[in-house]
Structure 1
């Protein structure tokens, strides 16, 4: 069994609404990108792609970026969340042999509405988690106003929060410029965003305050495992580089462990796009038990199967894990994490 824990799609009605938006630059940009990835909306094509990986390959689905908050006023984004979740639930119910579950869309412009929609998705639609992004209108996700949302998901026990990056070309590479060039905002910026998100939540005490929270970070934990020396011994010296006049910059929640130990509490996927050495480093850092098979399909150059195939190849060739470890990464961890035993029986 292989359960691909981080795959994107656009349910039919949600896609129609998305393509009808004409007053949002973000929507226009995603309309262009999505039109070149037909497996996001064409389920017949998607199923043919999935067939390459056998009858025991299934996906946990979510809506493709951008964040709902970037698609217009709050009443529209709250409605879009409901439409997306209804559509994903219908697909999961209709094709249990293809989809092991879905992570709900929410609009955090209205935190109370987001909690209500997440609970509806869990209780009425069977969602296994929710997807959020690394920013909210460019602002950090450790703001206190979001903690009721984190708490609402954490108390559900076997539900996870998937985290996806979301910066665009308006985030310049240098202070002297107005836009990012050469898609640096995507190639490197998204990995910085994920790493900054993790860091801000760690120092906000997310795992101290909500020890039961389950957060899945896309792209294998981004930069964190590859800079373990700076995250470890470097952050053990927190404050040594900050003048007294800027003490508020390092004033966080009182932590009882080294910062690096909290980073290891995140779950991560294997969406490394074929970079096996990077995946190896992430697995060594986070551990087999915190690693879920995830491909980021269908955003590969083949528009569907490429990243699935390369991720499986990396895992099959990796000599630091056992066959039992591979089984855990492919499906065992996510089944245990989300209580999927009945849904994924062969």
Structure 2
């Protein structure tokens, strides 16, 4: 019986991986990913998975975002190809891959809405979206119909950070020391979460479920700053006429909305950080996920160390089971 379902593991299905050879430029992070065998070679992936007893994976699309691989029609076609491949893998290996999360392109809202309906028909349990779309924030009005369609379907969103080696300082040509992903990706998640909150998306769709990578990124650690800087300040002062602080009136305090997000345990094995996120979101909104296979061991390090970190917390058996699989099942079935 499966006792641990990894809620966020990336993959290139075979036909999609083949298509990438002629679509994507093999530079930067993509060059690394294209040589990570457990990302596309099922035999390698299965050997790693078999090291962990009663372990299964939710399949999610791998980076890069489809929007960065082509214009609207081509990106939409790539999302379709990804979803076809994910559905096929789940159908062929249901014990290993019980669920999949679909891909979407946000470049054309009409095409995205059609793909939502089609992918759900294939069995998708939700959709992975990225924290921005070619530099456009998620609260861009053009994207609202896509969020409306996902909310209408009552399926969740997996919110994945994306950031290239943009300069850490204006005087640099690009980010140094790989700061852009180590710290830049959690920053991207935190910014996107803020835009979702302040755009009033949770007021528009109170039942919307969004899981955030890396246990809510910066949000749990900076909970006090959220309360002091947004809850108190916005409630006690009148902003200047030209201040862009609250695009729409909110029904609740900002901090209340941040706690509506779900979060995963993909923290590379830090028990202390896991405890911080668990204390913030609560035991019912944290899901076990490793971010497989992005490590030097092809994924085994992240699975092993994430499971260890959860175990180090010495949780009650029921809460431990919720994090390993129970919360995921409720998250996709709510």
Q: Normalising by structure 2, what TM-score?
A: 0.95
Is 2:175 the counterpart of 1:156?
no
Gapped regions of structure 2 (runs ≥ 5): none
How many residues get paired? 331
Deviations 1:256-306 (A, max 9, x none): 221111101001000000111001100000011111111000002211111
After TM superposition, list the pairs within 5 Å mapping 1:42-191 onto structure 2. Answer: 42-54=41-53, 56-123=54-121, 125-157=122-154, 159-169=155-165, 171-191=166-186
The aligned residue for residue 203 of structure 1 is: 198
- Partner residue in 1 for 2:282: 287
**CA deviation digits over 1:139-198, x for unaligned, max 9?**
1111122111111111222x21111111101x2111232311111111111111000000
How far 1:245 moved relative to its partner?
5.0
How many angstroms does 1:238 deviate by? 3.6
> Are the structure 2 counterparts of residues 242 and 308 from structure 1 closer, same or farther at C-alpha, using a change threshold of 3 Å?
farther
State the match for 1:344 in structure 2.
none
The question of whether the paired residues in 2 share the 8 Å contact of 1:14 and 1:80 is answered with yes
Q: How big is the alpha-carbon RMSD for the aligned residues of Structure 1 and Structure 2? A: 1.7
Cα distance, 1:234 vs structure 2: 2.1
Structure 1: 5+ residue stretches without partners: 341-346
Of 232-241 and 269-278, deviating more is 232-241
- Aligned partner of 1:343 in structure 2 is none
* C-alpha separation in 2, matches of 1:77 and 1:28: 19
Number of the residue aligned with 2:5: 3
Query: Would you say the 8 A contact 1:103–1:128 is kept in 2?
Result: yes
Taking the aligned partners of 1:51 and 1:3, their CA distance within structure 2 comes to 13
Give yes or no for contact 1:280–1:318 (8 Å, CA) kept in 2. yes
Query: Are the aligned partners of 1:203 and 1:253 in contact in 2 as well (CA < 8 Å)?
Result: yes
Q: Does 1:322 align with 2:316?
A: yes
- Please say if residues 239 and 245 of structure 2, whose CA atoms lie closer than 8 Å, have aligned partners that are also in contact: no
**TM-score normalised according to structure 1 size:** 0.92
